[in-house]
Structure 1
Amino acid sequence: MDLLNNLGLGFQTALSLQNLAYAFFGAILGTLIGVLPGLGPVATIAMLLPSIYTLDATPALIMLAGIYYGAQYGGSTTAILINVPGESSSVVTAIDGYQMARRGRAGAALAAAGLGSFFAGCVGTIIIAAFAPPLTELAFKFGSAEYFSLMVLGLVGAVVLASGSLIKAIAMIVLGLLLGQINTDVITGTARFSFDIPELTDGIGFVVIAMGVFGFGEIIANLGQPEEQREVFTKEVKGLWPTREDFKEAWPSVLRGTALGSILGVLPGGGALLASFASYTLEKKVARNPRVPFGKGAIQGVAGPESANNAGAQTSFIPMLTLGIPPNAVMALMVGAMTIKGIQPGPQVMTSNPELFWGLIASMWIGNLMLIVLNLPLIGIWIKLLTVPYRFLFPAIVVFCCIGTYSLNNNSFDVYLTAGFALLGYAFYKLSCEPAPLLLGFILGPMMEENLRRALLLARGDWSTFLTRPLSAGLLIAAALMIVVVMLPSIKSKREEAFQEEG
């Protein structure tokens, strides 16, 4: 009964005119960002963080959430039509979706992606509403030692589940942790690692790193790519509704993808990207004698991963909302946004800001409905947007980024710092280093340090406090098991093989 009352409060909040407008704006912008290759939700949310200073917390978070799940929809459009995934989680969709488009079945592929996404998004939202309250109850049992152990588990998970080299992922986490140390010590009040630069005594701004590494870094990387001739299947997009055989083949894939994505979205470092790859691998194993082989235009290869990435995108809100732990880069930005609005992410959000908590959950369902109604009729417009040359698009984004960064503190130092991180972001791209773990390390580092010191102060310097408290010990054992499992030779080779397939 409580759940229904809470959802009632959520819908009452989400259906206000202002919140509906921001949900609509977020969903549309997210789809647009997903459609434009190279501009993911991380870069966009990073660019928009300065704009939320003037907004109330609820509409601001509703808009940012809309951008995230809207981008999951939009990314599939370019993946299917021109074999360029607009979003990293749509990489797998491109394999069979593009082949369907080449065979004149772009409409069926886009509809399967859209309907699968809508179903998974709705299920993901129901899971958040059902599981968030018990998780929050558990979170209230957490002390400093438990929070420290949870963050250790989060960082280990981010390393284990990061794509590519383990060494690079560890290096990025460590760099993020080190950057998080540039600030004024909370206990002693002395500046640390500021090199006598006054602007660094308050620490490096979260927006500066996010915008530099993700926003500018992505732009420089895209400008480095040669402009290739791309086929856009504008004439082929007709007959949007899939056939009866398509439905028969796709619905089991949608169910499997939704279940898998819902579980993997909660894991640190998981979210939409991991869910889509895992779903495609599962579909290839499970599908017996598909009508069309995988890689040649199998509708299961579109429906499964698209459902999984949307379910993963929704359920990745669970650890962020209930524990204050971001499982991926976008959720790290959402934590940043909550901090900007003066809200401490964690279990107290549900009790101290119920309108925000339940309004955000209800807005996701409304946003998913908006997206399915909007996306299928608007396919023609998205195709037109793909013809905008990069040389017009990117200067506008750079100007917007610079204005946004400057407006944070009205200080040009932030703009120069962002430019420095842009070069760093490009270097990461060239070295094939995934920047998301850096952001997680940067967010979690100061919180980890604070909880570690607080736990040791309470235990009078006794390190065994982390092992004598059952919850803390359990979390540390889980982190240790993750390290052991990933180091097993059979798992290691499978992991490398899986991530080679991604490329």
Structure 2
Amino acid sequence: MQAAMEGVLYVLNHFPFLFIGVAGGILVGALPGLSGSTGIILLLPFLLYVEPAEALIMMSGMFCGSMYGGSISAILISTPGTPSAAATVLDGYPLAKQGKAGKALAVSTIASTAGGVVSTLCLILLAPQLAKLALKFGPPEYFALMIFGLTIMASVSASSLLKGLLSGFFGLMLAMVGLDPILGTPRFTFGITRFLTGFPMVPVLIGLFAFSEVFGQLEVLGKKAIPYVEKVRSSLPTWKELKELTPVILGSSILGTIIGIIPATGGAIASFMAYNEARRFSKHPETFGTGELAGIAAPEAANNGTTGGAMIPMLTLGIPGDVVTAVMLGALLLIGVRPGPLLFSQTPHIIHALFAGFMLAQFLILALGLITIPLFPKVLKVPVGILYPIVLGLCFLGAYSYGNSVYDMGMAIVFGLLGYFMKKHGFSAPPTILGLILGPLAEQELGRALIISHGDWTVLFKSPIALLFYGLACLSVWYSLRGVSKAKTRG
């Protein structure tokens, strides 16, 4: 209890970091084309100059805020700000067209807060226990865990299994540029001194995610008319409506948390599953799609429920649960924090601050969400012709400030163009990032395992825990192949 109070006091003493994270997250989540990962990437240069706990608090606020923010544009302009809010459009926008946008936004805010609180409680209860189990891991177990993490890259591809694997292997190839982590010998540097340290992570992240997204949005600028809801008045749901929504919100929150714990799933899957379950158990399923409050509450509780769930494998095992936690993993490694069981035992103050920040972020979302409901239409009216050049400028500033070098800006542009063409041809950036982040970690653990065993490769297969992760890796690939096979059969 004392540790929890210390965490709360730490967050309150550093409240501006949480506020900036949550408010910024709501903003980037509400603006179509931006996302939580984009927001965290734009924060990266600043995060390098603050304490690790402060950085985690800000990133957590950005993560939670952006997940909620996606529902704002989904309800008001029928365009989800993030993929996780796609299911919210189905009932949110019809309700807004009926003149009840304020009530729809209020239900979204309340459901998002409830989902976040439930997932945070699960994070607080489950993460320390899983971290204790992970303390038993040695290099063979960690290598197997990284292999399992790398197989996830096939699952997060938006197009196909093959393209997901190719994107991931491209990330592994990028990770091999520089010095060998065990022997210290140069690899694939082609005599270029800059390549000795590998590709700089911040410019690569900014390029693959932020730059490529802006390039894509600028391409379609002006081609699509956006159906705005002009005026929004604050309108809270009645006690009767809240009472009817409570089972839906709680059930969807738990479902979202469970799905969030499973790597490579995320809020989009959770929101649609929760929406379908809410409709299936409803006494009036025919009203879904016409402006049903439960059709807003279910997906929003579920997708916000994934936030705490996705943090559990990332913090305890170093395996990101979704795209945003993959970016957070890269950011943590950049500031010298390696997620895993030692993070819990050696730096408990960081963990307690994170737990407190995650919980307080939910109530800050509730307050900001309800207070600013009338302002949302004005924010969404900012012309994209103004918005995206500003984002582009922030990307350049972030890339330059990382190393105070024009070289880093150039790398961001190169990877931005690369990410743009990858998306254009059905390839996905998240598998590339996973390969770039997890590849070196897997290589280090492999080297340590072989050093300990004096070159005996069988050491990798002697541990039951390692065999379990190899089995999960095979299941991950099999599940992806099965999905491809089913898609071909339906086609």
Q: Does the pair score TM above 0.5?
A: yes
Please report how far the alpha carbon of residue 42 of structure 1 lies from its aligned counterpart in structure 2 after TM superposition: 0.9
Which among 152, 158, 165 is matched to residue 160 of structure 2?
A: 165
* SS in structure 1 of the partner of residue 375 of structure 2: helix
1:124 aligns with 2:112: no
Partners of 2:96 and 2:457 lie apart in 1 by 59
Partners of 2:89 and 2:319 lie apart in 1 by 31
* SS in structure 2 of the partner of residue 376 of structure 1: helix
Partners of 2:175 and 2:282 lie apart in 1 by 46
Q: Cα gap change, 1:234/1:286 in structure 2, threshold over 3 Å: closer, same or farther?
A: same
Q: Deviations over 1:347-402 (max 9, x none)?
A: 11112211111111101111111110111120222211111111212222222211
Q: Is the CA contact 1:324–1:347 (under 8 Å) kept in the aligned structure 2? A: no
Partners of 2:195 and 2:153 lie apart in 1 by 27
Partners of 1:451 and 1:404 lie apart in 2 by 32
Q: Is the CA contact 2:234–2:370 (under 8 Å) kept in the aligned structure 1? A: no
1:455 aligns with 2:449: yes
- Residue number in structure 2 paired with 1:258: 253
Q: Is the CA contact 2:323–2:430 (under 8 Å) kept in the aligned structure 1? A: yes
- Residue number in structure 2 paired with 1:194: 189
Choose 210-219 or 51-60, whichever is displaced more.
51-60
1:231 aligns with 2:227: yes
1:15 aligns with 2:12: yes
Which among 33, 40, 51 is matched to residue 38 of structure 1?
A: 33
- Residue number in structure 1 paired with 2:315: 321
Superposed, 1:346-425 pairs within 5 Å as 346-425=340-419
Partners of 2:106 and 2:282 lie apart in 1 by 20
Partners of 1:98 and 1:57 lie apart in 2 by 40
Q: Is the CA contact 1:290–1:298 (under 8 Å) kept in the aligned structure 2? A: no
1:481 aligns with 2:478: no
Q: Deviations over 1:35-62 (max 9, x none)?
A: 1111111112112101112211111211
Which among 91, 106, 112 is matched to residue 107 of structure 2?
A: 112
1:146 aligns with 2:168: no
Q: Is the CA contact 1:57–1:356 (under 8 Å) kept in the aligned structure 2? A: yes
Partners of 1:274 and 1:437 lie apart in 2 by 18
Partners of 1:462 and 1:32 lie apart in 2 by 53
Partners of 1:114 and 1:495 lie apart in 2 by 39
Q: Is the CA contact 2:171–2:436 (under 8 Å) kept in the aligned structure 1? A: yes
Q: Cα gap change, 1:438/1:277 in structure 2, threshold over 3 Å: closer, same or farther?
A: farther
* SS in structure 2 of the partner of residue 429 of structure 1: helix
Counterpart amino acid of residue 157 in structure 1: I
Partners of 1:243 and 1:161 lie apart in 2 by 40
Q: Deviations over 1:287-316 (max 9, x none)?
A: 343361x33223222111111111101221
- Residue number in structure 1 paired with 2:47: 52
- Residue number in structure 2 paired with 1:305: 299
- Residue number in structure 2 paired with 1:6: 3
Q: Cα gap change, 1:376/1:239 in structure 2, threshold over 3 Å: closer, same or farther?
A: closer
Q: Cα gap change, 1:260/1:165 in structure 2, threshold over 3 Å: closer, same or farther?
A: same
Q: Is the CA contact 2:33–2:213 (under 8 Å) kept in the aligned structure 1? A: yes
Percent identity between the two aligned chains: 35
Off by >6 Å, runs of 4+ in structure 1: 494-497
Please report how far the alpha carbon of residue 447 of structure 1 lies from its aligned counterpart in structure 2 after TM superposition: 0.4
Partners of 1:273 and 1:229 lie apart in 2 by 24
Query: Normalising to structure 2: TM-score of the pair?
Result: 0.94
Structure 1 residue runs without a partner (length 5+) = none
Choose 464-473 or 24-33, whichever is displaced more.
464-473
Partners of 1:101 and 1:25 lie apart in 2 by 28
Q: Is the CA contact 1:173–1:437 (under 8 Å) kept in the aligned structure 2? A: yes
Q: Is the CA contact 1:23–1:62 (under 8 Å) kept in the aligned structure 2? A: yes
Which among 415, 427, 440 is matched to residue 433 of structure 1?
A: 427
Structure 2 residue runs without a partner (length 5+) = none
Q: Is the CA contact 1:234–1:380 (under 8 Å) kept in the aligned structure 2? A: no
Counterpart amino acid of residue 61 in structure 2: G
Q: Cα gap change, 1:406/1:462 in structure 2, threshold over 3 Å: closer, same or farther?
A: same
Root-mean-square deviation over aligned CA pairs: 2.1
Superposed, 1:199-278 pairs within 5 Å as 199-227=194-222, 228-235=224-231, 237-238=232-233, 240-243=235-238, 246-278=241-273
Partners of 2:319 and 2:39 lie apart in 1 by 21
* SS in structure 2 of the partner of residue 233 of structure 1: coil
Partners of 2:204 and 2:488 lie apart in 1 by 29
Partners of 2:228 and 2:48 lie apart in 1 by 39
